[in-house]
Amino acid sequence: MKKIGIIGPGAVGSCITVQLLATEHKVYLIGRRNEHITYQDASNNLNIVLNVVKASDITEPLDIIFIAVKIPHLEGLYEQIKHLSQDTTIVILAQNGYGQHLKLPFPHIYQAVTYISGQKTAQHVIHFRDEILHLQQDDNTISLKKLLASSGLSLVLHKNIEVEIWYKLLVNLAINTVTALGIQPASILKQPHIKSLCISLLNEGYMIAKHSGINLSDNVIEEIMTIYQGYPDDMGTSMYYDVLSNTPLEIDGIQGFLYRQARKCKLTTPHLDTIYALLLSRHHTFLNNS
């Protein structure tokens, strides 16, 4: 039996927890305070009450840690949870974005590409669909997949996870940006200028990927634009909801990561530079007012 901790009792963390509760392992859902939250699965009417504990209340080291807090909440997190890890602990970042692993000096840390859809409102989580994490394939993740085989969580292992990470980065880049800055859900994509802004951002993202050694397929931009066209008009993105609820934005791991990577590769990215400056300004306004 392994000891597993899930940090962040939100949409993603609660879903991972519920999937792992079906296994023989000891599972802790770890939050900022001791509390109970309710979890509802929209597909099968499952309703469960989940027990959330504070990290400081756990005294034993864990074998596996999933981190499912939003990117701005990584600030200071390492100090709060480092006592939960030991040399062999496997840490999985179940977040969007890329580059966050550099802030957390765990020896075995993996960026997952997270396909879990849900939403948290106050103490209630609703899970819409998917329970899938994509991970780099190596000895640790092959063992992890075996350990969690009896859970409802699907671990998909890749020989080169970078391609999956960058693909999701690009998917998030344009839609999150236009919905957050335009303060409108996916219906904003119907506006021709917004559509062409998305294409320009995706072109710049594609170029940054290419210069970073990531070979995405030649038709990736058309593919992503087709995905966007399938979104219902009233669908919001996480960055859109963060703007509405006046909470910090996950720009550091998405637009910010791409912006820094563009500078590193000495690329000209006028659309990305503009939207990044605007998003950063909104993010700083929040930080100054909080």
Residues lying near ligand NAP in the complex (CB under 6 A): 7-13, 30-32, 68-71, 73, 77, 80, 94-96, 114, 116-118, 120, 238, 250
Question: CB of 9: closest distance to ligand NAP in angstroms?
Answer: 5
Question: CB of 203: closest distance to ligand NAP in angstroms?
Answer: 23
Question: CB of 60: closest distance to ligand NAP in angstroms?
Answer: 18
Question: CB of 57: closest distance to ligand NAP in angstroms?
Answer: 12
Cβ distance to ligand NAP smaller for residue 268 or 290 = 290
Query: Which residue minimizes CB distance to ligand NAP?
Result: 10
Cβ distance to ligand NAP smaller for residue 1 or 287 = 287
> CA–CA separation, 175 vs 252, rounded Å?
16
Cβ distance to ligand NAP smaller for residue 176 or 269 = 176
Residues 6+ apart with CB under 8 A from 195: 189, 225
Token code pair at residue 91: 């840490």
Cβ distance to ligand NAP smaller for residue 94 or 197 = 94
User: Using an 8 Å Cβ cutoff, are 36 and 50 in contact?
Assistant: yes
